[in-house]
Chains A and B, each alone.
Chain A
Amino acid sequence: MAIDRKKIIDDWSKIQVLGDENGLIESAGVLINQLPVPFWNGFAERLTSKVTPDLLESVEYLLINAAHECGYNTGYGIITSPEWDAIVKPMLEKLPEDILYGAFAVLTAWGWAKAEIVELDPGKRMVVRGYDYYEADVVRYGKSTKHSAYMLTGICAAFMDLAYGGPYDPTGKTGIKTFKCEQVKGIENGDDYGEFIVTRA
């Protein structure tokens, strides 16, 4: 069976996520939260818009890095979870590529972005398009002069790390940061979709 993206999204998006008696959501080896989107966008956009130009690159790097670490650790938790075993694992044929395609379907189901892989050169390069993603909501009129999809940029690199960066290392000493990602198009910039190119770091 090949990866059925629509079925993964449909099934995974139905999973109920709610805090337990301690107000915590433990899943996929991490603590989860489900916060309003304006919180995440508000911090990233206000911070990147207020810093001086000489500091912008550093701040953007740290925002992307937050998502890179999130994507690496939570991504590993997802692809080793019981939910993955139930929904995605039966579809896996060609490894690790099918894991990567499946992970992007789960990413979409989590509400991170309506994003999918459009090109994949295994172990070398990946191109992802985001046709709808919450980070583009920072612009309601006109076009921003900078890209804003820091989260999606970091996640794309992290998923390539998981696929081709060697064994998962929870200490973060190896495995992570073997790939880097650049956003080259953005809905927030007036493009029809966001585009993200992942290459070896």
Chain B
Amino acid sequence: MSHYRQIELELDHRFDPFSRRHFLNGFQSVLHCHHYSTLYTQLAIDAQETDLLREVAEDAFVDMLSAYFEDYDITETEERIQIAEQYFAAVGLGKMEVVYLGDDSGKVVLHRAHVDEGWIKKWGKFDRPVNYIAAGYVAAMFAAVNEKAPRSYKVTEVESLVMGAPKSVFNVVQK
């Protein structure tokens, strides 16, 4: 039987006084609101570029998570998942729970979600899933935890808070 330590995300926030830029654990970050994130999402839907939105999210987050695992020497799967769940919350994307993660498949639940709740706040419920940013994050998390390249996993949102479900559910399958 394996025993894992409860691990806590460490955040090093710096504001460069010259460039006036924010850095979170060495990665430049910026504050934006749900109007901006949901309008980006709406644009992706209208332009039929939801895959692009998911991919840029995956690219951005896989670097961030992989660097953290390396910098803090996080090697155990369960500890990596704990960090990824905490990171998701720390940047304001919501409350994530990894139900299971394997090399080939997985399932992730969002109990709360910035994009869905922002969308409902702005426009009300919607008839299809909209959280491509979280889908990209989940793909990045699976790639980073399993040390695979980006685009290794297909992530599909099968239940959605924005549609009125009690939680959002993402199925993950290795391509």
Contact = CB atoms under 8 A, between A and B. Distances in A.
A15 B174 CA distance: 40
Interface residues of A, number: 51
B47 interface: yes
B36 A111 contact: no
A139 interface: no
A34 B91 contact: yes
Contact of A34 (B20, B29, B39, B47): B29
Interface residues of B, number: 52
Contact of B21 (A34, A46, A134, A151): A134
B31 interface: yes
B32 A32 contact: yes
B59 A112 contact: no
B59 A69 contact: no
Interface stretch (A21-29, A89-97, A117-125, A161-169): A21-29
A201 B114 CA distance: 32
Contact of B93 (A17, A23, A42, A51): A23
Contacts of B28: 36-38, 111, 134
B4 to A, nearest CB: 21
A62 B49 CA distance: 14
Contact of A33 (B93, B111, B112): B93
B30 A40 contact: yes
Nearest to B90: A19
A38 B56 contact: yes
B150 to A, nearest CB: 12
A2 interface: no
B35 interface: yes
A57 to B, nearest CB: 13
B167 to A, nearest CB: 12
A70 B21 CA distance: 19
A86 interface: no
B114 A112 contact: no
B92 A111 contact: no
Given A24-B95, A33-B33, A35-B133, 20 more contacts: A14-B15, A23-B88, A23-B92, A23-B93, A23-B114, A31-B33, A33-B34, A36-B60, A36-B63, A37-B30, A38-B56, A38-B63, A39-B61, A43-B53, A46-B52, A69-B39, A70-B35, A74-B33, A74-B35, A111-B21
Interface of B: 11, 13, 15, 17, 19-22, 24, 27-37, 39-40, 43-44, 46-47, 49, 52-53, 56-57, 59-61, 63-64, 88-96, 111-112, 114, 117-118, 121, 133
28 contacts: A17-B92, A19-B91, A23-B89, A23-B96, A23-B114, A24-B95, A30-B33, A31-B114, A33-B37, A33-B92, A34-B24, A34-B92, A36-B27, A39-B56, A39-B60, A39-B61, A43-B40, A43-B56, A47-B52, A63-B43, A66-B39, A66-B43, A70-B32, A77-B33, A109-B20, A111-B21, A112-B30, A113-B20
